[in-house]
Amino acid sequence: MNPKIDKALNNGSGVLRMVPTFVPRRNGSAGGRLRLHPDDYFALGMPRGAMKERWFTATIPANNGPLAPADEGLSHVALDDTAQDRVLFREVVEEGKAAVVGEPLMKEHGGWPMYSKFFDYNDALFHHLHLSFADAETIGLLGKPEAYYFPPQLNNHPGTFPHTYFGYDMSVTKDEVRERLAMFEKGDNRITELSRAYRLQLGTGWYTPPGVAHAPGSYLTYEPQWNADVNSVHENIVAGEIYPWDMLAESCPPNKQRDMDYIMSLLDWEKNIDPDYRRHYYRPPIVDEQKGPNFTEKWIVYGNEYFSATELTVPPQTTVTVKDAGAYGAIVVQGHGAINGVAAESATMLRFGQMSSDEFFVTYPAATAGVKVENHSLNEPLVMLKHFGPDNAKPDMSNGL
């Protein structure tokens, strides 16, 4: 075994310290809520855009164009306190296998199949969809379901549009959507006029299936998702920015990039016009009554077959043991303490490239045996967001609502 990977896996705790991974995006304006130093939002230079995302436990790179390095977005495991010595999380998974992610995920998916991120835009994002698994397979990629949770701890301001558009109104026809998409290079297609927006509520979330058009709102969002980055952008002008046809057709096979029938086929039409969309995909938090009694754990992402997430809250001056059914990534958003003896504290302000003590991956053996979580604060709760693969679903909602 690679000595670095052996060092990561045999630290005695089963808790891997992760290096902060900030990702720039050229489109949109940054929300400034990533707890990054104000001088560092353009740390990679103006052509790369501002830091608008922070990725967690990622084994796939960001689809950021020709200026991006090949490993942009990939997570690293720190092997010392400064993270000068580090190793790719993807390599730890590939070599450690079941000792990292567990036999169920190795058998079914061959590794760690999802990641999460903080998504931080000051304006609404463009109306777009992610491809289904069948459509993504035509270009050699995976489909992309995703979910959203709006953590109060990171939303000191709501941005300019704390609403999200989902799908299209049930009265809208395919011909109307097709007509707006055909306007992509002729002028503002104003396609969200055909959609429906929901005001976002902190401490709640949504699930978005592949094939559903959506324009995420301007709250910072915790976003568990599948290992994919495949899009079709339906809106050509957003907050004054103009998007080219390539954004509409970027995930189409080369011979289909001007085929409007094919582009329309990427929509899961029935889900887009679902009259009960909120009932099917809104996700209020649900307290896990099987956990506790000295702490609270809430399901914040559930009701799908791909991934789940919880919010763990441990009161001040309390130590608890928390067992889970699978490995998970974790980000501490409030308070300080320790996880299996590893120092854990929420970040106040990080410099780009600086190590932190707020992000972890808990291996399958440690998670299933039970993790000791200590809150060292006199006054504040320790709050941690945890994202899981498909082996840790809410018991009565493993395959949807």
Q: Which residues contact 108 (CB under 8 A, 6 or more apart)?
A: 390, 391
Q: Average pLDDT, whole number, for the chain?
A: 95
pLDDT computed for residue 399 by the predictor? 45
In the chain, pLDDT over 90 holds for what percent of residues? 92
The structure's pTM equals: 0.96
Segment holding 24, helix H or strand E: strand 21-25
Q: Which long-range contacts (CB under 8 A, 24 or more apart) does 259-265 make?
A: 260/178, 260/181, 260/182, 263/181, 263/232, 264/174, 264/177, 264/178, 264/181, 265/135
61-83 pLDDT tens trace:
998 989 999 999 999 999 999 99
3-state helix, strand and coil shares in percent for the chain, rounded to the nearest 5: 20, 30, 50
360-399 pLDDT tens trace:
999 999 999 999 999 999 999 999 999 999 998 776 654 4
CATH 3.40.50.1240 fits 286-397, yes or no: no
List helix spans (H) across 50-168.
89-96, 98-101, 103-109, 133-137
The domain segmentation of the chain, as residue ranges, is 3-283, 286-397
322-348 pLDDT tens trace:
999 999 999 999 999 999 999 999 999
Lowest mean per-residue pLDDT among 261-270, 355-364, 387-396: 387-396
CATH number of the 3-283 domain: 2.60.120.10
128-177 pLDDT tens trace:
999 999 999 999 999 999 999 999 999 999 999 999 999 999 999 999 99
